[in-house]
Amino acid sequence: MTTSSTRSSHTASLHDGEIVEESDLGSIRRITADNLPILKGLSIKRVLINPGAMRTPHWHANANELTYCVSGTALVSILDDGSRFSTFVITTGQMFYAASGSLHHIENIGDNVAEFIIAFRNERPEDFGFGATLGAFSDAVLGNTYDLPSSDLARIRRDTTDRRLAARTGDPEIPANAYFNDPHKFDVEVQAPGLNYVSGSARFARDQYWPVLEDMSMYSLRVAEDGMREPHWHPVTAEMGYVQHGDARMTVMNPDGTLDTWTMTTGDMYFIPRAYPHHIENLGTDEWHFLIFFDQPFPADIGYRASASAYSREVLAAAFNTHIDDLPNFPFTPADPLIVKRTNPVD
């Protein structure tokens, strides 16, 4: 059994992840399959943007993007195919979705650092920066594109290097319609919890409430000191989580029967392949908060409470290789509760 997060193949610290860019403008760190090989169909970034800076316009060639704003205030712009343009303001607890190939940017318009956790629908997302792609074409080609003399384009400093973080000149330009609702945007933390228990709650960003989602979703999961996410598995859904706050312990069983148990703290992330059984419990003295991303627009799971109710005691005794009289009295559970109260001490 693995007991340390540094030795687990399922987890890594995103705060200590691969540095994509780091300067006085902010930082970008990521975990992909290059540094966590178990990842499949999902990967994650943490982006910090300082006041007056921006993540420059770019697109992802092979991945949809689902972004959660941890803190700060930012202007987001998205240009989809068909020349459909959106621009909107997001702040703490809000999310946005950018489809693969759509041109988008994130600009800090506040006075504090803006922090974002970004999930991608690919274990190795590929990026193109709009500024860098201008370096691929000659002055004449670009002049023809914009109906300008080629000499006008020659004055722009161009190469194929993507300057992911850049400083803004002057004050931000915020159109009035940026404060309206937009289909790309979702305010997950103002939603009433889809599931609300004494020991925790879950808010859902899934296609049931956010129709723009195609192949991703996110749960904002909070569990109290005395709570536990019951053992379960997702039949057709992989799970990638980020510890926004708190301390927790997770156990995963692998197909070969080996167990992986580790502790996590703020800034750690993890990945559970489809249908692997796992559970999470609070180890701290206060509530923990996880951002959990899925590779389906409406994830589903099967829990152990309902599983024990699905079969006769004779079948369960055979499955557990025990005498029927030694079976506990499992409570009948037609629908799994997701979060259960931890009445027993941590073992």
- Choose the final residue of a domain: 186, 210, 241: 186
Q: Quick check: 54 and 169 in contact, CB under 8 A?
A: no
Domain closes at, from 186, 221, 242: 186
Q: What are phi and psi of 161, to 5 degrees?
A: -85, 130
* Per-residue model confidence as pLDDT tens digits over 143-189: 999 999 999 999 998 899 999 999 999 999 999 999 999 999 999 99
Which residues is 203 bridged to in the sheet?
A: 220
pLDDT in tens, 17-64: 999 999 999 999 999 999 999 999 999 999 999 999 999 999 999 999
- Side-chain-side CA neighbours of residue 15 (13 Å): 8
Quote the domain boundaries for residue 321: 192-341
| Residues 202, 177 share a domain | no
User: Using DSSP, how many helices (H) and how many strands (E) does the chain show?
Assistant: 5, 26
Regarding whether 125 and 177 lie in a shared domain, the answer is: yes
Query: Is there a single domain that holds both residue 206 and residue 266?
Result: yes
Contact 86, 184 (CB under 8 A): yes
The one-letter code for the residue type at 86 is S
Same-domain pairing of 133 and 253: no
Please check whether residue 60 lies inside any domain of the structure: yes
Query: What does the pLDDT look like over 182-221, one tens digit per residue?
Result: 999 999 999 999 999 989 999 999 999 999 999 999 999 9
Structural domain tally of the chain? 2
The arithmetic mean of pLDDT across residues 90-106, rounded, is: 98
Q: Is 139 helix (H, G, I), strand (E, B) or coil?
A: helix
159 and 215 share a domain?
A: no
Residue 127's nearest CA partner among 83, 160, 97, 158 is 160
CATH code of the domain in which 201 resides: 2.60.120.10
Same-domain check for residues 198 and 182: no
What DSSP letter does each residue of 193-249 carry, written as one string?
PSEEETTEEEEEESTTT-TT-SS-EEEEEEE-TTEEEEEEE-TT--EEEEEEE--EE
Question: Whose structure tokens read 């996880």?
Answer: 290
Q: Which amino acid is at 243?
A: V
One domain for residues 268 and 146:
no
Is 5 among the domain residues?
A: no
Average model confidence (pLDDT) across the chain? 95
**pTM of the model as a whole:** 0.95
Per-residue exposure over 77-102, b if at least 16 CB sit within 10 Å of its own CB, e if not: bbbeeeeeebbbbbeebbbbbbbbeb
